[in-house]
Chain A
């Protein structure tokens, strides 16, 4: 009897919990249905009727944005707030999504044809933008005739999101490479930032050895297996690893060998400390266990995010070393950066385009504010003339670093890049690790990298 009662109680409990689940699910689905319906009506309102009608109805259109890093999120929120102030019927909602997640999600939705699941606007890493545009053109909205003035952006940056002469992206942050060093550490070793400006890698290595001997601190840090620094050296010297047809050209590439030799020397002499991942990289900078770093100018935000108050004022910005005697070698390069894209499935194409035209591609005031508040250096040319770029940064020793970075930007050599960037990067990372680990010499490591990339292209 007792057992029967227990069984009965259990059954009742189960039924109740199931019913509860059922009802909440139902509620969720009706909710969802309501929002999609709403979205559908908004779309009708904007496309078929005049936009003013939509305002009159008081319906709020939401632009959902995916981007990563608090830095980008805050910049987008600033743009959103500015636009919302003038257009109360539009709401910009920013969802923080990691860069690699955006890539995976875009790909998954494109493969499954579920483009509706994409947000209205998303940010994409410049290194993979071309690859996604080529592989999944159906994801991107054509922005060529949208009225956005692409000529207002740095040409090399715009080119990254162009396919067959059509524009598919709104350029965002600057990818100009800078070298940042701790002046207090340099001082301990008897150097100043001027000693590290306009120098070659050979000179850098001599200084680096000296600094290491005197302070015990490596000059640079880099993520192991991710040859970002190597790629920066290559571009600074105008050395392409792809030929003009997009084929990989690593073997017999003397420039590549020279650049790899520099990298290997840096690691072997302890001047560059490799980190296992990005957080290790970031940590070494923020914890003050490294003298400096060379990266895209967006690294300033990382440098400033330390909890060590004593670092403020002790950083300085200069250009990167150049590749010794190499013909065409410069002290300038590019790394990272990202571009906004409007997804093709958006119900609010007009609103999205208008939003960009009035903020990201039309407001120097906006760029001034993100530069001042966030240190976000963009590629919007009209903004470079503004006074905001001449402001000094106390964090970086009271120097006008922004105008300095902008002046570097114009001197970056262009190289051939292709859609096989990730494959190349990885193969070179493996090659470097093999040489550094002693399991292979430089020539055979390069030959192996060449065959790996060729294999991947050969599909």
Chain B
């Protein structure tokens, strides 16, 4: 035993120390993350109600193909993804480059103000938006008093407006968060590049597209992946703002999973199968993003 330990090379010793340091965290991650994930995978091959589960093979995945509500929720998720993510990221990018200007006054104040929405809890902000856009809520009252509308609008009760409000809420909540990443990225761009561009006669818009955007590419990639991931797992807004309605038009996949697990007669196997579909979608989209976006 002793002789063996002594025979370790310095490199091996270093490696061993490294692994020992990693071990507690690795074990915890395995127990708290990977083990439940494996369990969920196993669960997704079982079907039945509540605790009465039996082996169903791929039946849950086959069932998904026929589930109209699931497809509706999938389409809803992609609708949010395609509209909200680009708008939010472009807005964040513009705000970040504006706030990065050297001669801007009250920079700290603006940065804080734009970042603050991220500090509100998801449920609270959803409820605030719901109250604002309620039938006898603040927005309707203001618009009515200003004479912009003649009768109250049921914002959250109509398909189009309900979707738009969810998107507005998401943009309000997450733009500041992404802006902080861009601000951090901008600190790494040398000011001299902009000076050189100015001397060469490039306007601020040209500088933005030719310098800022290309040099921020890794950060943009990161925020895109995070936003896609977040949007596909959207839950709180669907539950608290609209309850998935009207007629499932704002229902997200995660909300549907919750319903299948806790509101209907519980079908945990089926819910686990849906979770895996989201997992695969996120993995796939991130992979494509990295292949397309990362040109280093």
Closest CB in chain A relative to B104 CB, distance in Å: 34
Pair B157/A274 contact, Cβ less than 8 Å = yes
What 0/1 pattern do residues 261 to 277 of B give for CB contact below 8 A with A?
Answer: 01111111010000000
Pair B51/A276 contact, Cβ less than 8 Å = no
Instruction: Given the known inter-chain contacts A225-B246, A274-B154, A422-B263, please indicate yes or no for A135 contacting B50, CB distance below 8 A.
Output: yes
Instruction: Given the known inter-chain contacts A273-B135, A287-B136, please indicate yes or no for A419 contacting B243, CB distance below 8 A.
Output: no
Interface residue from A111, A422, A423 paired with B51 (Cβ < 8 Å): A111
Q: Does B247 contact A (CB under 8 A)?
A: yes
- Which residues of A are found within 8 Å of B50, using beta-carbon distances? 107, 110-111, 135-136
* B residues whose Cβ falls under 8 Å from a Cβ of A: 47-52, 63, 66-69, 130, 134-136, 154, 156-159, 242-243, 245-248, 259, 262-268, 270
Pair B265/A280 contact, Cβ less than 8 Å = no
Give the distance in Å from the alpha carbon of A274 to the alpha carbon of B159 in the complex.
14
Pair B264/A422 contact, Cβ less than 8 Å = yes
Closest CB in chain B relative to A277 CB, distance in Å: 7
Give the distance in Å from the alpha carbon of A430 to the alpha carbon of B136 in the complex.
23
Closest CB in chain A relative to B259 CB, distance in Å: 8
Pair A224/B262 contact, Cβ less than 8 Å = no
What 0/1 pattern do residues 274 to 311 of A give for CB contact below 8 A with B?
Answer: 11110010011001010000000000000000000000
Pair B48/A433 contact, Cβ less than 8 Å = no
Interface residue from A103, A275, A439, A459 paired with B270 (Cβ < 8 Å): A459
Give the distance in Å from the alpha carbon of A279 to the alpha carbon of B221 in the complex.
42
Q: Interface centre among A110, A135, A420, A430, by most B CB within 10 Å?
A: A430
- How many chain A residues sit at the interface, stated as a range, is 35 or more
What DSSP secondary structure best describes chain A's contact surface?
Answer: helix
What 0/1 pattern do residues 420 to 459 of A give for CB contact below 8 A with B?
Answer: 1011001001110110010100000000100110011001
Pair B49/A437 contact, Cβ less than 8 Å = no
Pair B134/A456 contact, Cβ less than 8 Å = no
- Which residues of A are found within 8 Å of B48, using beta-carbon distances? 459
Pair B69/A423 contact, Cβ less than 8 Å = no
- Which residues of B are found within 8 Å of A224, using beta-carbon distances? 157, 245-246
Q: Does A104 contact B (CB under 8 A)?
A: yes
What 0/1 pattern do residues 29 to 62 of A give for CB contact below 8 A with B?
Answer: 0000000000000000000000000000000000
Interface residue from B51, B68, B159, B263 paired with A452 (Cβ < 8 Å): B68
Q: Which residue in chain B gives the minimum CB-CB distance to A224?
A: B157
Q: Does A131 contact B (CB under 8 A)?
A: yes
Pair A433/B245 contact, Cβ less than 8 Å = yes
Interface residue from A131, A276, A284, A459 paired with B156 (Cβ < 8 Å): A276
Pair A456/B264 contact, Cβ less than 8 Å = yes
Give the distance in Å from the alpha carbon of A459 to the alpha carbon of B48 in the complex.
6
Instruction: Given the known inter-chain contacts A224-B246, A430-B248, please indicate yes or no for A455 contacting B66, CB distance below 8 A.
Output: yes
Instruction: Given the known inter-chain contacts A136-B51, A273-B135, please indicate yes or no for A103 contacting B247, CB distance below 8 A.
Output: no
Give the distance in Å from the alpha carbon of A276 to the alpha carbon of B244 in the complex.
11
